[in-house]
Amino acid sequence: MAEPDVRKGMPPVKLDRDEFEQRYRRRFADPAFAPLQRELDAIISAAWDAYTHSRKAPITRKAGPGFADPNYDLSVDWLAAREAILAAQRRHDDPSEPRRILIINGSARSEHTCPGEMSKTWRLVKLAEPVLSGMGLAIDILDLSRLTSEFGRQIHPCKSCVSTSMALCHWPCSCYPNYSLGQTDDWMNEIYPLWVAAHGIMIVAPVNWYHVPTALKAMMDRLVCADGGNPDPTSTHGKKAAEAKALELKGWPYPRHLAGRYFGIVAHGDSVGAETLRRSMADWLTDMSLISAGGMAERDGYIGYMEPYATSHQALDEDKAFQQEVVNVAQALGTAVKLSAAGKLQDPAAGLVEPDPK
């Protein structure tokens, strides 16, 4: 009996016309769309044509100067994302611009969704914000709970291009939008510039089953392109794996697109997993060549340990010590960013070369 080919994947999933239409029409189950069936028929026909012809990026233009292949057709969406990142990098590098802190609310819960109640994580974010702004720092807040409460907010899953070749993982991500599959409204093209512009990152996150919430994990996965990703999709002519592998094997430089930014972490739970979560996030950020603002900037703890969830906000009100720990994280991070800007705090690893970056 012949051995199975373990490197042969599953056949591609191609819907037939009926299944495609059924899935598409589910978006319009509201009776308000009932009088619009003729219009929907036309829209579905156009969508089916895009699907069958795999028009991932229907609007493109020539890459132009500065790319390996100036004549390659690049998605206008990707080019816009790239320009936003370049503009953010210019702000980051401009000494006349205020130093920026990005505070990330890692909780998916909010008063605008099913729970009808804000998260403790959001309260901790708002506790840190005035501390940092009071230090003269500019603040951006990335509230990942908007994924669960806002129309058209999505972070699509990472397709793990880097596992084929680091050179196939483009910076910024070129996997989305994919119009033929309806994979649009991807938030990451707005999130990348927030990270790039920041001099310090503060992540506040609750424990969800020993790990980060789904929304935060989705963002983490999609930031893989910031850690060694290829800034020139024309060098691989899009997603041509063979070209990417050949490019990587010539010697890939693994550009660290977020290197040198400082970070602080607050991980909180109710019974288990806070320390594991804090260490996991710190390892991830350190792997991307971000720099910890110190031990006081990495904190984990429990709010209302083993107490009813129903009284957890009251437990936070009463836990002045944990509130002070959050303030301490913000102050340590802000101090690190200000000292760095003044040339009084240097990366101890500056100038060192990793012999084996991956």
As a three-state string, the secondary structure of 145-205 is CHHHHCCCCECCCCCCHHHCCHHHCECCCCCCCEHHHCECCECHHHHHHHHHHCCEEEEEE
* Confidence (pLDDT) at 5: 65
How many CB atoms lie under 10 A from the CB of residue 4? 7
* Confidence (pLDDT) at 4: 60
Q: Give the tokens for residue 321.
A: 């010590």
C-alpha–C-alpha distance, residues 300 and 269, integer Å: 8
pLDDT tens for the 358 residues of the chain, in order: 556 665 677 677 899 999 999 999 999 999 999 999 999 999 999 999 999 999 999 999 999 999 999 999 999 999 999 999 999 999 999 999 999 999 999 999 999 999 899 999 999 999 999 999 999 999 999 999 999 999 999 999 999 999 999 999 999 999 999 999 999 999 999 999 999 999 999 999 999 999 999 999 999 999 999 999 999 999 999 999 999 999 999 999 999 999 999 999 999 999 999 999 999 999 999 999 999 999 999 999 999 999 999 999 999 999 999 999 999 999 999 999 999 999 999 888 888 888 888 7
Q: Which of 291, 265, 297, 262 is nearest to 278 (CA)?
A: 265
Inter-residue contact 131 to 212 (CB < 8 Å): no
State the Cα torsion 339-342-348-349 to the nearest 10°.
Answer: 120
How many CB atoms lie under 10 A from the CB of residue 220? 19
C-alpha–C-alpha distance, residues 17 and 11, integer Å: 18
Beta strands in the chain (DSSP E): 60-62, 73-75, 100-105, 138-143, 200-206, 262-269, 291-292, 298-302
Q: Which of 213, 215, 220, 167 is nearest to 192 (CA)?
A: 220
C-alpha–C-alpha distance, residues 122 and 160, integer Å: 30
* Confidence (pLDDT) at 128: 98
C-alpha–C-alpha distance, residues 276 and 179, integer Å: 38
* Confidence (pLDDT) at 138: 98
C-alpha–C-alpha distance, residues 215 and 208, integer Å: 11
Q: Which of 304, 299, 259, 260 is nearest to 279 (CA)?
A: 299
Inter-residue contact 301 to 270 (CB < 8 Å): no
